[in-house]
Structure 1
Amino acid sequence: MKHLKILFLFLLFLIVSCNGKENHPYTFYYWKTKLKLDNEEKKALDKATVPYLYTRFFDVDKVNGKFQPVAVITKDQSFQTGKQIVPIVFITNQTLLGISAEEIKFLAESIHHLIQKKSGEYQLKITDEIQIDCDWTAGTRDDYFKFLKELKKVSAKKISCTLRLHQVKDKKQTGVPPVEKVYLMCYSTSSPLEKSDKNSILDTEVLKSYLSKIEDYPIQKIEVALPIYSWGIVTNHLKKHKLINALSKKDLENPSFKKISDNEAEILKDGFYFGSYLNKGFKIKVEEISNEQLQDVIGFLEKKIPHFNIIYYQLDSKFVLNRKL
């Protein structure tokens, strides 16, 4: 009888192990210049199981040889949340080209002071973490890494950074950032402005190829950023492309469009569509991400990264409505 009980418990363990799905805590990125939340966004954020909202504060670029904050946040009264705010600063790669040691220190101090100023001005409850988003390259890696260390020093905060797919695959060239935690950006697998049959937001086979050795990446804590955004790629008569954000396949159901495929259509009549004037003959290709694609990526990463949180990009009622997260 005792043996049968042990066998039953063992079989039950096997069933749970095989069918059990890891429950990943999740939250969102917020990437709009004006901080505001509508009812759907508030609902989605309230349901999120991580107590943080990753919020872009401003970008940094080099304009006429000088560092400049770009698109600094403003705040609407509707932006009320119990989540703590993780400030994010996006730095263009060109900002780091030819930067001196004095400029690195100035940049770190200026970024820290502007974060403090904006969080105080808008009474934002920020965490002890600052996240830096930069598509650094082999040519800028050393100065970028010096900047990350300097920012940690001047802010006395925990510094984290984003990690793009090519920076994982080519880590010998791009190096490993001097941070304790990175956020793996599992999207932008190709350029949307190049003619391709692939989904440029997320092609799971391309992603798996880039991340085939992610388990060997020498940083202990890796969180995962997944896409829930969509867009339309418009192609004109000269084969040039432009993006229209937040389009879905439903937007192609239009009497002025001729469906080419499930996610493509040709415009039959000149006019304003989605805020842009588009001519007859222009083509629109919609790219969006299914829940099945997200689960495929999550299942792949579960075999390689232990116990990660998920940060969905991005919090917008157009992207969270009716989506199972």
Structure 2
Amino acid sequence: MKILKILWVFFFIASCTKKEDHPYTFYYWKTSLKLEQEEKKVLEQAPVPYLYTRFFDVDKVNDQFQPIAVITKDKSFQTNKQIVPTVFITNRSLLNISGEGIKFLAASIHHLIQKKTEEYHLKTNNEIQIDCDWTAGTRDDYFKFLKELKKVSGKEITCTLRLHQVKDKKQTGIPPVEKVYLMCYSTSSPLEKSDKNSILDVNVLKSYLSKMEDYPIKNIEVALPIYSWGIVTNHLEKHKLINALSKKDLENPNFKKISDHEVQILKDGFYFGNYLNKGFTIKVEEISDEQIQDVVSFLQKKIPHFNIIYYQLDSKFVLDRNF
């Protein structure tokens, strides 16, 4: 009887501490739709049957809406995943937009998505995802645009949700969609001098999402970062980014180690495709599996069930990553 009690207690503890399962997939954010072998392998292993694929960006240039970097497709591209067309819209595109402008923008985006889907014979699902860092000043017009896009496309319209849009929901409003994608990265600007990791500082994220359970939309998926970069700082304290750098890249006899993730350049030269001067510093920011798990454990207490979409699918970021 005593043994049975011990076994029951052990089972109870084990069940309480069981890691919750979160099916995952990826964002694809390159301008050319092409999968390397490692990317294809990792994508095939992902349990979620979708690949969230950036089709193009929209910006306003000389007061005209412009599609930027429209996606192309390599002949070799193949996947059994359904493509979810994703479009990034700059906030300034929505400033002082008219009612006619909203209708034109929605119709144009729908038309270009249709055109590319047919041209590249893509198997899409019934969803269009819009990514926009809307603000209190653009919220009403952005929400009208989301409704108009749903009307003209007949699709389910979803959108991304940034951390400040959760924290300041009274100012930024609640989008008129049934599902949102919580972007758990970009916790600060990489172009500001800071000791924090600008891609993801877990404590900053937790403070922004402390009341996440009160958010009115309950159908929430979670976007998590697996990307990395290097922040180069010159003599004038000006910064620029070099994509996909890791700590391994800092192992160079021309670099003097300042900290575990930062070096100073000892000799002028070309590094990572950029000409960098002696005295410049490079700080690498990347995300560990432990940080990801910390965020997931925190969100499990706030969101009942969620899938994970990793940003982004790239062989530089998926190699040796524990999904």
TM over 0.5: yes
Question: Partners of 2:124 and 2:62 in 1: how far apart?
Answer: 32
* Pick aligned residue for 1:303 from 301, 304, 309: 301
Whichever residue aligns with residue 249 of structure 1, its letter is K
1:23-55 Cα distance to aligned partner (Å, 9 max, x none): 100000000001111001001101111000000
CA RMSD across the alignment: 1.2
Which residue of 1 is the match for residue 218 of structure 2?
220
- Write the mapping of 1:226-245 to structure 2, written as runs, cut at 5 A: 226-245=224-243
- Tell which deviates more after alignment, 15-24 or 152-161: 15-24
Per-residue deviation, 1:11: 2.3
Q: In structure 1, give the amino acid aligned to 2:49.
A: P
Q: How do 1:128-207 and structure 2 match up within 5 A? A: 128-207=126-205
Aligned residue for 1:79, secondary structure, equals coil
1:210 is the counterpart of 2:208: yes
TM-score, scaled to structure 2:
0.98
Is the 1:86–1:127 contact (alpha carbons within 8 Å) kept by the matching residues of 2?
yes
Distance 1:26 1:8 in 2: 36
Distance 2:317 2:189 in 1: 21
Alpha-carbon distance between aligned partners in 2 of 1:42 and 1:209, rounded to the nearest angstrom: 36
Find the aligned partners of 2:10 and 2:290 in 1 and give their Cα distance: 27
Runs of 4+ in 1 over 4 A off after TM superposition: 7-10
Equivalent in the alignment of 2:105 = 107
- 1:1-325 equivalent positions in 2, closer than 5 A: 7=5, 10-325=8-323
**Counterparts of 1:132 and 1:70, CA distance in 2:** 15
| 1:142 counterpart SS class | helix
Instruction: Determine helix, strand or coil for the equivalent of 1:88.
Output: strand
Aligned-residue offset at 1:174: 0.3
Amino acid paired to 2:234:
N
Q: How many residues align?
A: 323
Q: Does structure 2 retain, via aligned residues, the 8 Å contact 1:230–1:288?
A: yes
Aligned residue identity for 2:249: D
Q: State the secondary structure of the residue aligned to 1:242.
A: strand
5+ long unaligned stretches in structure 1: none
Contact conserved, 1:185 with 1:226, CA < 8 A, in 2?
Answer: yes
Q: Cα offset for 1:154?
A: 0.6
User: What percent identity do the matched residue pairs reach?
Assistant: 81
Q: Deviations over 1:292-324 (max 9, x none)?
A: 000000000001101100000000000000000
Per-residue deviation, residues 161-180 of structure 1 (Å, max 9, x unmatched)? 00000000000000000000
Contact 1:252–1:265 (CA under 8 A) maintained in structure 2: yes
SS at match of 2:192: coil
